Structure 1
């Protein structure tokens, strides 16, 4: 079957983390250093999420990320103050304009687009506030549907809304442990968005011996060409 739809993650895929928000909250931190530390922090978070999935535990992503970025493991009070004084809308409020351009091209090709995101129930408002209104056929927010990636059920909700089989959809996200693993488990073709070129071309889940290939792009302008290639 040909690809009919592309589903997207939001954080660090459509909307980038805004390190300036943290720098403003903690003036002693240098924006340049936060931006430098960021890519490795996300890769470490991916490893923590995979470990938690295997163990059946949970990761408080925001607290984990703040500790890693701020190197403040011994400052829990400072972390809690930061959690209290920020919200996800102010942290992921930097639009990935190359993603927007890629989506315009996909829609011109007749490909439908939608969002499946782990969020706090406010991701649709976040997108609309940042210029994405009318872009997507629908938005599936884990905070509203009660199930999160990598659970296959959140992907199935998206497929049901789109009226498609899993083989007809791609899923684009930035974390192998959540986005690639979950999409593969649900039967979709995953596309890892890897702008910092940190991952190889195979996803090795801890619980299995074999490595499963996935599509990987380092720039969003590669996505329309990938869809064209897959559709022959």
Structure 2
């Protein structure tokens, strides 16, 4: 299905949200403590910045791996993040070994909620602002079946009209079917729906494949010129929404 790269903001009535790095993040302080014990001395804040810088690399790899889930993908993700720490923090360290050690300590199938449990600052307020405008809101997440628990744990489950967890439905972004499940869940039309997420290959390409509009989240301007709209955060997204949409 062909889709315009320009989002028709005044025509939208539904918004899909990726979860990880959109309104939720991993516990970077915990990861930093584990990394330090393995020889990479760093802070949670340094890791958080490095992770954002690694997203274009992870997105490019997704085109070949076709998955963001599983232990192998998590090790690759960690390795790419470690590579983007300041050189003084990683010189003389075998990053492959550190990434493997971190994966062993942190990867727990079916229990992503133990690591991905930090609500990003200001995101709840932005989501409440969007919800108050009258949009239908659905979480569309590549997860391990634990996203419902995570939303409840961070007190954000009541903000959304639905949740689609890839493990629960059996389709993972960028498979267009996960977006089609979300559309059916709230009886939404793709041309009146926009999805926002942090990985081009999963969130943007997947949404377009389903005929859904897409916006890439780029808080640090790490992505080069892209063929899709970008925003720094959910506050910027909210500022683009014109108000209560008309419903057909």
Report if TM-score (shorter chain) is over 0.5: yes
**In the TM superposition, what are the counterparts of 1:16-31 in structure 2 within 5 Å?**
16-28=25-37, 29-31=41-43
Q: What CA distance in whole angstroms lies between the structure 2 residues aligned with 1:17 and 1:158?
A: 24
- 3-state SS in 2 of match to 1:73: helix
1:116 and 1:155 in contact (8 A); partners too: yes
Q: What CA distance in whole angstroms lies between the structure 2 residues aligned with 1:185 and 1:80?
A: 32
Q: What CA distance in whole angstroms lies between the structure 2 residues aligned with 1:110 and 1:97?
A: 23
**What is residue 81 of structure 2 aligned with on the other side?**
69
Of residues 39, 44, 64, the one that matches 1:51 is 64
Tell me which of the two structures has the higher relative contact order, counting C-alpha pairs closer than 8 angstroms and 6 or more residues apart.
2
TM superposition shift of 1:141: 0.3
TM superposition shift of 1:228: 1.4
Does 2:182 match 1:169?
A: no
- 3-state SS in 2 of match to 1:106: helix
Residue 157 and residue 85 in structure 1: after superposition, are their counterparts in 2 closer, same or farther (change >3 A)? closer
1:149 and 1:182 in contact (8 A); partners too: yes
Residue 160 and residue 195 in structure 1: after superposition, are their counterparts in 2 closer, same or farther (change >3 A)? same
- 3-state SS in 2 of match to 1:92: coil
TM superposition shift of 1:24: 2.4
The alignment's TM-score, normalised by the length of structure 2, stands at 0.78
TM superposition shift of 1:138: 0.9
Residue 197 and residue 165 in structure 1: after superposition, are their counterparts in 2 closer, same or farther (change >3 A)? same
Residue 191 and residue 230 in structure 1: after superposition, are their counterparts in 2 closer, same or farther (change >3 A)? farther
1:201 and 1:216 in contact (8 A); partners too: no
Of residues 44, 47, 61, the one that matches 1:34 is 47
Residue 76 and residue 5 in structure 1: after superposition, are their counterparts in 2 closer, same or farther (change >3 A)? closer
1:201 and 1:215 in contact (8 A); partners too: no
Of residues 87, 98, 107, the one that matches 2:131 is 107
TM superposition shift of 1:40: 2.2
- 3-state SS in 2 of match to 1:97: coil
Q: What CA distance in whole angstroms lies between the structure 2 residues aligned with 1:11 and 1:57?
A: 11
Of residues 4, 7, 12, the one that matches 2:13 is 4
Structure 1 runs of 4+ with >3 Å offset: 56-60, 74-77, 83-87, 229-232
Q: How many pairs are equivalent?
A: 220
Q: 5+ unaligned residues in a row in structure 1: which ranges?
A: 204-213
TM superposition shift of 1:36: 4.1
For structure 1, which segment, 218-227 or 140-149, has the greater mean C-alpha deviation from structure 2 after superposition?
218-227
**What is residue 182 of structure 1 aligned with on the other side?**
206
* RMSD of aligned Cα (Å): 2.8
Q: 5+ unaligned residues in a row in structure 2: which ranges?
A: 1-9, 84-94
For structure 1, which segment, 149-158 or 17-26, has the greater mean C-alpha deviation from structure 2 after superposition?
17-26
**In the TM superposition, what are the counterparts of 1:131-150 in structure 2 within 5 Å?**
131-150=155-174
